[in-house]
Structure 1
């Protein structure tokens, strides 16, 4: 277990641990969440595409959160070393990041102040976030205010990089969002892939396993799985077989 993972396991409360009553976390119901996800599908797609491009160049431990304009978590991503911790934490889609729901946090502060906010660990009310350095910013994607972006790290030394990343993502999202809207408006079925995603898609079509792809590309297996997840989302499929079939029909293979 790495030093980073050990620190997270020690300081990030597990899902089964109670949250203080003053900061009881609230979530949308599944029907409510499904409706919110449908309304924000362009925004979510733009976020996923942008994070996919940026993650390949990151070496630190990061957590990326996207909420709608009401502070409801609609998408998230993270570095590979956070997989177990995120799965065990209370953070999941539908979580409401207002101060009333989970205490003062970077997203609730940027919602209240309508400007980018950097929040160090000691200023978070909820123990869930009290080892995290968080930078949150309002998002104006398309022609209107769309939601909020939060980029967080547990490493204080990465503060400058954290802010730089958080400032880059909205520009990537704007371009991706406009591309998605344009495709729908013209009735196109085109899907935008990165070079790495196309390479992995071709390897999947050739029958390579996740382990084999990771060895061949000299990347982690969790990174391959992340790319597969993004590829499946972009193609609207649930399995490798469906992905290969859809990609073939769209002339990507």
Structure 2
């Protein structure tokens, strides 16, 4: 059972036809035709971290963060617009979130205070097509079921390429979560605010992977889905519902 089919089992019968229409718009059944060069562009931050860890690993600080020298390297290599004087991982949330995600999905591990590649991480680090597909298959991974569901719903709308503003995504996510049985009161906030709180870390992760191309500022800001982003979303939605395998 793939993630789309699993959602239908939790919906009221009268909601299923509209959901299937959305799935059709998302072209989830289409083959993934993205070329490897485009995949490599999306993988730049992931491959940088995996290669930087390499065979020797990275000794973490006592607080469990990347050391300042590595943070400075990342600010140069990844060109995410950080001030050059920033050298603490705690001040660069997207970097920390990406590192933690790679650990959570079995590409990195920590042993005796050192960040290391897992066997899977070593295998996939220089295999861009397989790495891209693995990241798509595990992008929803979270210890919180609501975050996993929200991520899959977000990816479904990403695959349609019909929305351009974060507020639009939050509106449909709030409705979508309700349609599969989540009550907003379970998150302690309501509506779009709940969706924002739930999806924010995954949104940042998807942005760093090149799923969204952001432009403008303030109310004029847009988040346009890239061609690679739509392909990534479809690949993620094709996978069977299963736990992330152990490293």
Q: Which protein has the bigger helix share? A: 2
Verify same fold: TM over 0.5.
no
TM-score by length of 1: 0.32
Higher relative contact order (CA 8 A, sep 6+): 2
TM-score (norm 2): 0.33
